[in-house]
Structure 1
């Protein structure tokens, strides 16, 4: 009986010690968990190689570990990764997260980009559900490093495949024959140009001379233009000034003549209405008087002065024998 009682006491003591150890471990876990800060990261890229317990580093410095990985139900293209970080790690605004893959198959979460003087990333008081859907702050993501290469690998392979197909079509037998013909024609053209090298050199020399002569002609034209401008400024402008003065004088004379004609117009009208008819009558009287004088002169010639006093004497009658 005493042996059995000792075994029972030993078993009870061991069980109590185990329970105390379990409570101590749980207490330590809760204590350490209370000190850590949790954040959510929503990756749109693949998180291959990432698992619970994977390391989290800030600029290469160990900062925590991954606690949970799951698809986000509202958008299955996003992968939610919960990380627990050391409280001494400053997660400031501007900090971003990336998945650092390696060729060994393991991946880590890399944090960097925090800006000095910025506040820490926290859940806002307003729209907290939208900004922090699981009650913890969210760290933005960016694609970089090997992850970006791996994400773009399918598109790169597709483009390489399309490029290979186009190169195959371009290098078909028909196109190869065309390219060979083009190369042959190019060789012929090169040979012809080589044979005509002296002629081309002579043509270039003549062209150089023509360009030089054109430059000289342009310079002479410039000198002529300058001389013409000088002549215009020195000779033509004074002549134009004299011509303008002559035009002004002629205009003044014309105005004076117009005024004189205006003043003489009443006398001219009176002369045409009165004097001209009187002069006509005078001319008529002079013509009549001239005819009378002609008649008198004729009588004097025929009958002498007596013809003017008496009638004309008849000739004596002489009878025939």
Structure 2
């Protein structure tokens, strides 16, 4: 009877210790973290290095941990990571999440950053019942995403380098180097000629500069001559042309004023002058006849009539 009582006592003590330990564990894991907030992050990059319990930091300060990492069969290009952070963590609009490595251990963590003062908090639940924090590619994610493309480019570059150093291209490169060597030797041999050509070029350039300066002086002299001699002559010529123009205008006015008198002269005086000329012509003819008579018969011929010849009868 006493042994049975001891076993019951021991069992009760052990059971009580188990209940106390279980309560303590629950208090550490559950009761103490009931105020944490959960968020989902959908990564399109590899989440290698993350695991359940990985650290979550905000601007470098630890604020939470990773609760769950799950694949999404309906969206296989994404990996859903659920995190829990302290309730006073400022998860505001503009906050982004990135994956960053921790040293050289191969372990990764989630970094939160980019909160803007005065922005509203992220509270809208997503398709899985908790708010969603957008992602921003981190250095590790970008490296992992670009690794296949980088390897492909390195492979292509290696193949092209192999083609470049093929035997045929090596012979071509050798020929090019040989030609360059010959060309450099020819240039070295013609060094004095090239130097002389450069010297003549300098002289020609100098002479061209002198000629340009002389042309400038000639142009200045020509401008001076124009200012001193030609321009006064042009001024006098302009004055003469203006005077001639005024004279022509005066002559035109005089002709316009004399035009009525000329018209009257043509209409009246001209016929009378014609009649006078005809009368003078007839008088001249008469005087000519009188003079002829005077020459042939003297004054008597003029005053008397002409003597008739004597009549002699025919026998």
Selected match of 1:163 from 147, 150, 157: 157
Which aligned pairs between 1:112-127 and structure 2 lie closer than 5 A? 112-114=113-115, 117-119=117-119, 121-123=121-123
Q: Partners of 1:286 and 1:258 in 2: how far apart? A: 37
Q: Structure 1: state its 5+ residue gaps.
A: none
The 1:274/1:120 distance shift into structure 2, 3 A limit, reads closer
Q: Partners of 2:167 and 2:271 in 1: how far apart? A: 121
1:259 to partner: Cα distance: 1.2
TM-score under structure 1 length normalisation = 0.84
Which residue pairs with 1:24 in the alignment?
Answer: 24
Q: Partners of 1:91 and 1:229 in 2: how far apart? A: 83
Which residue pairs with 1:110 in the alignment?
Answer: 111
How much is the aligned-residue C-alpha RMSD, in angstroms? 2.8
1:318 to partner: Cα distance: 10
1:94 to partner: Cα distance: 4.6
Report if aligned partners of 2:66, 2:82 keep a CA contact under 8 Å in 1. Answer: yes
Which aligned pairs between 1:141-290 and structure 2 lie closer than 5 A? 141-290=135-284
Matched, 1:134 2:125: no
Q: Partners of 1:37 and 1:120 in 2: how far apart? A: 16
Of the structure 1 ranges 143-152 and 81-90, higher mean CA displacement relative to structure 2 is found in: 81-90
Q: Partners of 2:120 and 2:306 in 1: how far apart? A: 167
Q: Partners of 1:167 and 1:37 in 2: how far apart? A: 55
Report if aligned partners of 1:100, 1:145 keep a CA contact under 8 Å in 2. Answer: yes
1:119 to partner: Cα distance: 4.7
Q: Partners of 1:236 and 1:180 in 2: how far apart? A: 74
Q: Partners of 1:61 and 1:169 in 2: how far apart? A: 53
Q: Structure 2: state its 5+ residue gaps.
A: none
Report if aligned partners of 1:95, 1:140 keep a CA contact under 8 Å in 2. Answer: yes
Q: Partners of 2:306 and 2:269 in 1: how far apart? A: 43
Matched, 1:52 2:52: yes
Cα-to-partner distance string for 1:136-193 (whole Å, 9 max, x where unaligned): 4433322233332222111101111122222333333333333322222222222221
Counterpart of 1:139 in 2: which secondary structure?
A: coil
Q: Partners of 1:290 and 1:41 in 2: how far apart? A: 146
Which residue pairs with 1:9 in the alignment?
Answer: 9
Report if aligned partners of 2:100, 2:111 keep a CA contact under 8 Å in 1. Answer: yes
Which residue pairs with 1:43 in the alignment?
Answer: 43
Q: Partners of 2:115 and 2:217 in 1: how far apart? A: 72
Cα-to-partner distance string for 1:56-108 (whole Å, 9 max, x where unaligned): 33454433321110124553212121222345655455543322236543322
Report if aligned partners of 2:90, 2:121 keep a CA contact under 8 Å in 1. Answer: no
Counterpart of 2:111 in 1: which secondary structure?
A: strand
The 1:212/1:118 distance shift into structure 2, 3 A limit, reads farther
Counterpart of 1:48 in 2: which secondary structure?
A: coil
TM-score under structure 2 length normalisation = 0.85
1:198 to partner: Cα distance: 1.2
Counterpart of 1:138 in 2: which secondary structure?
A: coil
Which residue pairs with 1:82 in the alignment?
Answer: 82
